[in-house]
Chain A
Amino acid sequence: MTRELTLEIFRYKAGDAAPHFDTFRVSVPETANVLDAIEVVWAVHDRTLTFRHACHHASCGSCAVRVNRREKLPCITPVSDYANGRLTIEPLRNFPVVSDLVVDVSGFFQRMTASGLVITRTAETSLDGKPVKLAEGMSRYNRFEDCVECGICISACPTMAASDRFFGPAALAGIFRARQETSNRPDKVRLLELADGEHGVWRCHTGWECSDACPQAVNPAEAIMSLRRDLIVHRFKKLFGK
C-alpha cells in the first residue's frame, strides 16, 4: 500500500534574497515516516535539497524540523499522522538557516557543552570559527540520558524566539541533570549560579512548549522550575549565613 503526499518544502541557499517553498508530489509506503518522504524528494526529484539525517531512530537528534508548523523528529513521525497528505516542511525556528532545512546549531552545542555534561557528538564547527571558553574546573559528568540534543525545544521556546542569548531549555535541563549527577558540593553550587545568570532560568516565560514538543520526554520546563526552586532555597540559606 502506498500513500500519495504533497510536500511543500522550505528552500533557501546562501545568497538568495529570500526563502521560498517548492512543492513535490511523492509516493511512499503506507508505513513510511516523514523523513523517508523527504529522502524520496532528494533521491528522485531534487538533489540540491539539503537536510540532516543520521540514525533514523530518534537517538541522534539530527533530523529535527517543523512539520505543519509543529516541531518533530521526522524519522519517527509516520506520514499516516497527516490524513490529508499535505505536509509543509520547514527548518527549526530560532536558529540561523544554513541551507534549506539545515540550521546552524553550533551555538546550541556550545551551550550544551558549557553545562558540563559530556555529549557524544562533538560541537559542530562554529561558522565564525570562534571556540567557546569553558569555566575553570568544570568537570565532565555523565551523558544526559534522555536528551538527544535535537534542538526541538529551542525551536518551540517563545523566549528563544526573541533572545539569542537565552541559555535555552536543553542547556538548562542539562544543568539540572548535571547537578543531580555530581555529589561535589562546590560544583553543585557553581552550576546553580550558572543557571542564575542574566540569561538563565529567570528569562523563561513558562510557556511549557519545550516539554510539550520534546520527542524524548525530557521535560525541560520542569527542570527549569526546579532550578528556580533550588535557587530560592539557596538564597534563603545564604541570607541566614549557611
Chain B
Amino acid sequence: MPPHPLSRIRRAAQWGDVRSRGLGMIAYTLNRVTGLGLVVYLYLHLIVLSLLAGGPSSWDAFVQIARSPAFLVLDVILIAGWLIHGLNGLRVTLTGFGIGLRSQKVMFVVLMAVAVVALAAMAVMVFSA
C-alpha cells in the first residue's frame, strides 16, 4: 500500500486551506472557524457567569469591565461570528435537506450581505448603548 503523502492530522486540517477553492468551500471553512470560535466563547461565557453566584459585588465588578470599549469591540466580533455562522447555517440546512440546490451560491452571497448590514446596525447599537 503506497503511503499517503500527508499525515492524518494534516489531512483532517485540509479544510483550513481555501486557496484556489470555490465559494462553497469558503462558506464551509467560515462556518467551521466561526463554529469553533463560538464553542470557545460558550464555555468562557458559562465560566464568567459563575461570578453571579458570588453576588452583586463580584458580578457588578465584571459588568464594569464588560462596558469598556475594548470589551465592546470583542462583542462586535462575537456578533459577527454568530451572524455569519447562523445565516450560512440556514443555507447549509436548506441545501442539506435538498432545498434550493441550484441557488446555493447566490444564497451565500445574499446571506453574507445581510450579515454585513445586520452587523453594522448592531455595532452601532452596541457602541451607543
Q: Which residues of A contact B (CB under 8 A)?
A: 12, 14, 19, 68-70, 91, 93-94, 96-98, 104, 127-128, 156, 158, 161-162, 205-209, 211-213, 221-222, 225-226, 228-229, 232
Contacts and interface: CB of A to CB of B under 8 A. Distances in A.
Interface stretch (B17-25, B46-54, B71-79, B115-123): B17-25
Contacts of A226: 98, 101
* B12, B20, B27 interface centre (most CB from chain A within 10 Å): B20
Per DSSP, chain B at the interface is helix
Contacts of A91: 5
Nearest to A209: B25
A229 B98 contact: yes
Given A69-B20, A161-B12, A209-B24, A96 B4 contact: yes
Chain B: interface size category: 20 to 34
Given A206-B95, A207-B25, A209-B24, A97 B3 contact: yes
Given A158-B28, A225-B101, A97 B5 contact: yes
B69 interface: no
Interface string B75-119: 000000000000000001001111101101100000000000000
A19 B5 contact: yes
B92 to A, nearest CB: 5
